[in-house]
Structures are given as structure tokens and as C-alpha cells.
């Protein structure tokens, strides 16, 4: 039986600090077809920016990445993820502090879970401190408010974008150039 193009489309949900950073990076990865900022991990009634920013909602800021696995693998996406954030800091990425900024990978099935755990084991060999990334089954993804969509693309000159996001984009570019 021949696989259809639709069979190649997968989703991965990642959190590693502010979702604006992850969205900007993964939008630029070949094989990624869509990136949507949002929340996961808490109650539906608290899935909004104000509640999540309070740090008391249980949600993490995440991105839902839709990708074509014939063009980019889950391992490649995870490698990028680990390169652009610090998976060894608990509930913190730079000045973004709180459980809503935790490092988290959500899986949809056992195959994804195995790939994630293998990638963490591989990444750990490169790091001095222990990886604290949470690995959880995806419970529910709640899209963020529209003003968070395409944030870097609309606000690239803003200080947060220049200080926090631009270096991650430069790291992605270097990783892409190193592969060639």
C-alpha cells in the first residue's frame, strides 16, 4: 500500500519559555507546515494569556507544530528544540520565570514518546546539568489569542524580539548551514 502525503503529516507540541520564541524558530524550519502558539496542561477555563501569566493556571506556553515527516523528522525538530532553549532550568528560560515557561514535550502516542526519550538521552550526553524537560501525554491544546500569532514576524524590531528571539533564529541558521 502506498503512503499518501496526508500520512506524512504529524503534530508535535513543545514548550520552552515564551511561545513567541518557539513560534519564530519553527516557522523557519523546512518541512514545518504550520506553527500555532497556545497553552496546555491546565483547566480549559484558565487557558488564556492573563490566567497563564499568573503562573497559577497549570498551563505551559507551548507551540503546536504541524510538520511533514517526509521532509523533517521528529528527531530533527527535537534537536532544534534542545538547541534553542535551556532544558536544564526548571520553570525558567532567561528572564521568563514560572511554571508556564517550563520545558515540556507532549506526545500523542508511544512511538513519539520513545523518540522523545531517546533524544533526551542523546542530548543529556552533551550537557553538564540534568535535563528537566517534562515529557507528558498531550491532554489538550488551547490556541493562544490572535495577538500572539506571528508575534516576531510583526514585531521583529521590538527589544524582546531582538534580545530573546533573534539569537535563537541565528542559532537555527547556523545549524542549517552546518548541515550543508
Catalytic positions are 18
- Grid cell locating 44: 480549559
Burial tier of 120 (Cβ tally within 10 Å: 0-12, 13-18, 19+): middle
- Rounded distance, CA 11 to CA 83, Å? 20
Which residues, other chains included, contact 147 with Cβ-Cβ below 8 Å and sequence gap of 6+? none
Amino acid at each position: 500500500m502506498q503512503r499518501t502525503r496526508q500520512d506524512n503529516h504529524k503534530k508535535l507540541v513543545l514548550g520552552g519559555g515564551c511561545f513567541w520564541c518557539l513560534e519564530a524558530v519553527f516557522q523557519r524550519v523546512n518541512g514545518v507546515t504550520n506553527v500555532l502558539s497556545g497553552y496546555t496542561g491546565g483547566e480549559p477555563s484558565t487557558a488564556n494569556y492573563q490566567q497563564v501569566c499568573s503562573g497559577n493556571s497549570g498551563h505551559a506556553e507551548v507551540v503546536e507544530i504541524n510538520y511533514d515527516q517526509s521532509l523533517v523528522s521528529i528527531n530533527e525538530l527535537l534537536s532544534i528544540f534542545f538547541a534553542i532553549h535551556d532544558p536544564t532550568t526548571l520553570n525558567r528560560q532567561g528572564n521568563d520565570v514560572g511554571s508556564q515557561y517550563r520545558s515540556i514535550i507532549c506526545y500523542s502516542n508511544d512511538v513519539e514518546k520513545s523518540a522523545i526519550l531517546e533524544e533526551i538521552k542523546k542530548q543529556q550526553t552533551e550537557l553538564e546539568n540534568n535535563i528537566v524537560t517534562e515529557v507528558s501525554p498531550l491532554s489538550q491544546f488551547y490556541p493562544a489569542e490572535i495577538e500572539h500569532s506571528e508575534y516576531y514576524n510583526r514585531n521583529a524590531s521590538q527589544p524582546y524580539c531582538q534580545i530573546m528571539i533573534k539569537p535563537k533564529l541565528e542559532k537555527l541558521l547556523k545549524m542549517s548551514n552546518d548541515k550543508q
